[in-house]
Structure 1
Amino acid sequence: LPLTPDATTKDGGRLGNISGFATQAEIILNTPGAADLVGATPMDRPEWTAVDPETGSVYVTLTNNTDRDNEDGDSDTDTNVANPREDNEYGHIIRWNEGADPSQFTWEFFLFGSFASESALVNLSGLNEANEFGSPDGLAFDDRGLLWIQTDGGANDNTNDQMLAIIPSELNSTEDMLAVNADNQDQLKRFFVGPNGCEVTGLAFTPDHQSFFLNMQHPSNWPAAGTIDATDASGANRARSSTVVIMKDGGGEVGV
C-alpha cells in the first residue's frame, strides 16, 4: 500500500485530504497513523529487522502483544492473518521476500516464541526446553548467514532473557510447514543467557567473528533496593548494566 497524499483510505477518501497527512513530509512524521488510515495490517509491536545475506529474505521481530483490542473493545480477541494468536504474550518472527515489482512481496511465519509446556495451539513452532523463549527483540545476521535472536522480558518466567542462533538458509523444513517446527528443533540453539531481569540487546561482531559484543540492560538486582552498594550481603559483585564480549576458549570463530 503506497503511503502518499494520493493514497486511498479505507473509507474511499484521499489520504492527503485528512489533517496531518496533506504532504509527504507529514506522512513520514506519522507513518503508523497513515498506515492505519489506508488499511495496513496492524502488527504486534515490531522491533528489529534484519536481511539474510544468503537469500535476501527480510525478517522482523514482533515482540509481543497482550493488549490487542478489537473494534468492540474486547481485549485479546482481535487477530489477523499475520498475528494469529489471541493473546500473543510470547511474540513471533515473520519474514518476507520482495517481488519483481516493488509493490509486491510474499511472506510467511518463521518462528513463534513459547514455553515448551504450552499447548500446540500456542507453541506453534514446537519449541522444547533447550530453546524455549519469549519476546524476540534484537535481530541480526552475521555475514556467514547466522541469525542471532535476542529477547526482552515479557513472559520469560522459565528462563532469563537470552540470545539464540539459527541458520535459516540451512533449515531442513518440509514444504507447507512452518519454517521452524517440531521436526527441525536441533537447528534453533540457545547460545547465551543473561542475568536476572535484564534485556539482552545490541549486537556487534569483529570482522573475524572471534569477538561478539552484547549489551545487558537493567538487570533487576542492580542497584540493590535501599542501598547503593555494588555487592550483596556475601560480598559478591552485583550484576549491572554493561557491555560484555564473548570469545571462544582458545580462539576461533564464535558460533561454529
Structure 2
Amino acid sequence: MDVKHWDADEEKRCSPENIAAFSDLLKNRLQTEKAINTAIGTDTLDNQSNETLEAEASMFSFEAVSAGVDGTHHVAKGYRADILISWGDPVMGDAPEFDANHQTPEAQEKQFGYNNDSIGFLPLPRGSKNPDHGLLVVNHEYTSRKLMFPDHKPKKEKKADYGLRLCQVEMAAHGLSILEIEKNRNGRWQTVRFSPYNRRITPLRSVLDISGPAAGDARMQTKYDPDGFHVIGTLNNCAGSITPWGTFLTAEENFNGYFLGHKKDHPDRLKLKRYGIPGKWFDWGKHDSRFNIDMEPNEPNRFGWIVEVDPYNPNARPVKRTALGRFKHEGAGIVLNADGRVVVYSADDQQGEYLYKFVSYKAYDDHDRRANFSLLDEGTLYVAKLDHIGNLDWLPLVYGHAGLNEENGFNSQADVLIDTRLAADLVGATPLDRPEDVVPNPENNHVYLMLPGVEARANEGRILELIPPQGDHTALQYRWDLLLQTNVKATTHKHRRKTDPKPDKQGLKKDWFVAPDNCAVDGQGRLWVTTDQGEYWGRSGSADGIWAVETQGRKKGAARMFFRVPVGAEMAGPAFTPDDKTMFIAVQHPGSDGAKDYPPFARESTFSDPVTRWPDFNSKQPPRPSVVVVVKKDGGVVGS
C-alpha cells in the first residue's frame, strides 16, 4: 500500500482509541509471556546476551546491506541484480517501443504496466518444477501521474480530450502483466517477446467473470452488466499467491480511491462510508461513468475482491471469487491443508481493520485440475478475534449466524460478502494495526502477518506469528505470538531487547527495519519481508528494502537487509524459482516518496525533474518501476 493514500474516513479509523486498544493488547500479551517465562526460568530475553545469540547458527549467510539512501539499488555482496522488465517495455509481440513523451492507451495495453507489485512464478511446462523457464505474473497496483506524464499537455489537444486519454493510459497501466521468461545461453533471465502466453489484463477493456455467492446479486448489477456476472477490469492489485493447481490469486486493495460522485443520496451511503467511497484519488469518473457512483451506484460492489487468473491459459477469463469477501485485500496467502481442503488468508489493509481466512468445503483434486477451479466458490469465510493471552478465535461470517440477519441489514450471504467489513464489525472481530500481507509457511505450518501500522509514519510496525494446532489450518482456535516489533530505535524480537546495538559509520543500525509490508516464504521455510515507509523514510534514515528474517532457533525474529531500493521507491514482491536460486522482486514508484527530505535534491520529484532516473539513468527517460532478478554469482541458493 502507498501510505500517502489516506482519506477522511480512514483517518477516523485511525482514532487514538483504535490504536491504543491494539497496543494495549500487544503490551498485555508480552507481559503475560514474560511472567510465564520468569516463573519457569526461561526468560531468554533478559538472560541471553547479544554476543551469545550471534554465535547461534543462522538460516542466512550473506553480509547485510548497509542502511542508507541514494539514487540506485544495492544488493548483498556476491549477488547480481539484473533488470528484467520496466514500465513501458513490450509485453505483447506487436507492442511499440516505449515513448514516455507520447503515451497512448493502445500502446500501454501492450506494454508492461506501472508500479509493479506482487510477483508469481509458475514453471513451464505446467506441473513441472523447472527453475529455468516459466511464466511470471506481475501486479500493477496504481499509477503516479506526476512521474508518468510530461509536465505540460500537448498544445493541439483539447483539455477534455487530453484528460480522457490520460485516464485511459492510466487504466491501461493498471491490472496485471503475464510474461513468459527463460534463461538464455549466458544463464541470464530474459522475456520471450512473442510468447502466446503473454498478455495484459487491465481495467480499460478486459472482461472478467464474477463467481461465488454474490455473483448475480441485485447489488452486483449495472447498466453494462444487468445480470451481475461480468465486470470490466481489476485494479489496485497488490499482493497475491500461487494456488496448488497453478493459478494466480491477485488482491484488489484500495479500490475505493477510483470512484467519484456524491454518497449523500446513494441508497447505500452508510455502507459506502464504511469503505471510504468515493475516495476521489483518481478522476476516471469524469470520463468513464463506471467510476461515478451517481451514474453507476453498484459499480463499487464489483471491486475489492480476490481475483483468480490462469496464466497457463491465455484465453481464460480471470474470475472474481466473491466467497472470499470484499474489502481492501492486501494479499491472498494460500495453503493446502492436511485434509486436502484449501485455506486462503487475507488481511484488510487499513488501520483498525481485520484478518480473515477462507476454508473451502471441497478438497483439492491432484488429478483433475478443472475440478479445482470451483474450490474458492464454496466454503466459509472467518474473521479473527485475538486476546491478550495469545488465543485467536476464528468467527464465521455466515448469513443467519451471530446477528448477520435482516434485523441488522443482511438479507443474504451475498450481503455478508459484499459488506464484509460491516459483518466483521457485528461479530466482534479484533481491530488490527493496519494488517497487510499474510503468508503461511508450509515448513512449520505457521502463518506470518505483517502489521506496518498507521504509525508507519513514525516508522513502527510488527510481525505476528499465528500457530494453528497440530498444523491444522481449518481449526477454529489458534495461538498467536509476536515475532518481532520494529521502530526507529531498534527491532525487538523474542530473544533480545535490541538487535545490532553498535551503529555503522553513518550511525545507522544494520539489522533492524520498519514498516513491514509484503512477505514471502521460500522453499526452505525462510521468511523474506519487504518494507514500505512511504514519505516517512527520512525518520529511519534508510530507503526501503527486503529483509531476511530468521524463523527458528534462538535467533528467531532477527533480520538483515538483502536488497535496498533507490530513493523514493517501495520494495514489493518477492517470488522464487522452485530451486530457490532466483529471486524476483519489484521496485515500485522509484523517485516518488520523500524527495523533499532527501538533502541532495530537496524538492518535489516530477517527470522532467526526478530525484532519480533509475533504472535507465537516461536523461530522456523518467524513473521506471521495474522487476529485478537477483541470483547468486556462484549459482547457489539465494540467501545461502
TM-score over 0.5 for the pair: yes
Q: CA deviation at 1:30?
A: 2.3
Aligned mate of 2:560, from 189, 203, 213: 189
Letter in 2 for 1:102: A
Is 2:460 the partner of 1:90? yes
Separation (CA, whole Å) in 1 of partners of 2:537 and 2:581: 29
Q: CA deviation at 1:91?
A: 1.6
Separation (CA, whole Å) in 2 of partners of 1:38 and 1:221: 40
Separation (CA, whole Å) in 2 of partners of 1:229 and 1:132: 29
Q: CA deviation at 1:156?
A: 2.7
Separation (CA, whole Å) in 2 of partners of 1:206 and 1:230: 33
Separation (CA, whole Å) in 1 of partners of 2:416 and 2:636: 48
Per the normalisation by structure 2, the TM-score is: 0.31
Stretch deviating more after TM superposition (156-165 or 221-230): 221-230
Separation (CA, whole Å) in 2 of partners of 1:231 and 1:4: 50
Instruction: Show the counterpart of 2:498.
Output: 126
Do 1:215 and 1:243's aligned partners in 2 also have CA atoms closer than 8 Å?
Answer: yes
Separation (CA, whole Å) in 2 of partners of 1:231 and 1:52: 36
Separation (CA, whole Å) in 1 of partners of 2:611 and 2:431: 43
Do 1:165 and 1:189's aligned partners in 2 also have CA atoms closer than 8 Å?
Answer: yes
Separation (CA, whole Å) in 2 of partners of 1:225 and 1:203: 27
Is 2:572 the partner of 1:201? yes
The superposition leaves residues 136-190 of structure 1 with CA deviations (integer Å, 9 ceiling, x where unpaired) of 111110110110000012443221011001230x2316xxxxx63xxxxxx4111
Instruction: Show the counterpart of 1:110.
Output: 483
Stretch deviating more after TM superposition (199-208 or 222-231): 222-231
Q: CA deviation at 1:218?
A: 0.4
Separation (CA, whole Å) in 2 of partners of 1:36 and 1:189: 38
Separation (CA, whole Å) in 2 of partners of 1:7 and 1:134: 39
Aligned mate of 1:225, from 601, 606, 623: 606
Instruction: Show the counterpart of 1:171.
Output: 553
Is 2:536 the partner of 1:139? no
The superposition leaves residues 30-87 of structure 1 with CA deviations (integer Å, 9 ceiling, x where unpaired) of 22221111111001111111111221001111121149xxxxxxxxxxxxxxxxxxx9
Separation (CA, whole Å) in 1 of partners of 2:562 and 2:487: 17
1:247 aligns to what SS in structure 2?
A: strand
Do 2:459 and 2:537's aligned partners in 1 also have CA atoms closer than 8 Å?
Answer: no
Equivalent positions of 1:1-256 (< 5 A) are 1-8=395-402, 14-66=403-455, 89-99=459-469, 102-116=475-489, 126-128=498-500, 129-154=509-534, 155-157=536-538, 158-168=541-551, 170-172=552-554, 180=557, 187-220=558-591, 225=606, 227=608, 236-237=617-618, 239-256=623-640
Percent of aligned pairs with the same residue? Answer: 33
Q: Using CA pairs below 8 Å that are at least 6 residues apart, which structure has the higher relative contact order?
A: 2
Q: 1:231 to 1:65 in 2, by over 3 A?
A: closer
Per the normalisation by structure 1, the TM-score is: 0.72
Letter in 2 for 1:190: M
The superposition leaves residues 82-129 of structure 1 with CA deviations (integer Å, 9 ceiling, x where unpaired) of xxxxx97422111112237721111111111212369x8xxx962441
2:437 aligns to what SS in structure 1?
A: strand
2:529 aligns to what SS in structure 1?
A: strand
Q: 1:138 to 1:96 in 2, by over 3 A?
A: same
Q: 1:248 to 1:18 in 2, by over 3 A?
A: farther
Q: 1:20 to 1:220 in 2, by over 3 A?
A: farther
Do 1:153 and 1:197's aligned partners in 2 also have CA atoms closer than 8 Å?
Answer: no
1:40 aligns to what SS in structure 2?
A: coil
Q: CA deviation at 1:22?
A: 2.6
Do 1:96 and 1:106's aligned partners in 2 also have CA atoms closer than 8 Å?
Answer: yes
Q: CA deviation at 1:197?
A: 1.3
Q: 1:125 to 1:88 in 2, by over 3 A?
A: farther
Do 1:113 and 1:125's aligned partners in 2 also have CA atoms closer than 8 Å?
Answer: no
1:26 aligns to what SS in structure 2?
A: helix
4+ residue runs over 6 A deviation? 228-232
What CA RMSD, in Å, does the superposition of the two structures yield over aligned residues?
3.1
Separation (CA, whole Å) in 1 of partners of 2:515 and 2:461: 5
Q: Which runs of 5+ in 1 are unaligned?
A: 9-13, 68-86, 174-178, 181-186
Letter in 2 for 1:138: N
Q: 1:143 to 1:231 in 2, by over 3 A?
A: closer
Separation (CA, whole Å) in 2 of partners of 1:117 and 1:102: 35
Q: CA deviation at 1:15?
A: 2.1
Do 2:567 and 2:591's aligned partners in 1 also have CA atoms closer than 8 Å?
Answer: yes
Separation (CA, whole Å) in 1 of partners of 2:612 and 2:532: 25
1:46 aligns to what SS in structure 2?
A: coil
The superposition leaves residues 187-208 of structure 1 with CA deviations (integer Å, 9 ceiling, x where unpaired) of 4111111111111101111122
Letter in 2 for 1:27: V
Separation (CA, whole Å) in 1 of partners of 2:569 and 2:481: 30
Instruction: Show the counterpart of 1:11.
Output: none
Q: 1:117 to 1:135 in 2, by over 3 A?
A: closer
Separation (CA, whole Å) in 2 of partners of 1:231 and 1:117: 29
Separation (CA, whole Å) in 1 of partners of 2:590 and 2:497: 29
Letter in 2 for 1:132: W
Separation (CA, whole Å) in 2 of partners of 1:18 and 1:94: 36
Q: 1:63 to 1:117 in 2, by over 3 A?
A: closer
Q: Which runs of 5+ in 2 are unaligned?
A: 1-394, 501-508, 594-603
Higher helix share: 2
Separation (CA, whole Å) in 1 of partners of 2:489 and 2:550: 21
Stretch deviating more after TM superposition (223-232 or 125-134): 223-232
Do 1:64 and 1:90's aligned partners in 2 also have CA atoms closer than 8 Å?
Answer: yes
Separation (CA, whole Å) in 1 of partners of 2:421 and 2:499: 32
Separation (CA, whole Å) in 1 of partners of 2:430 and 2:609: 46
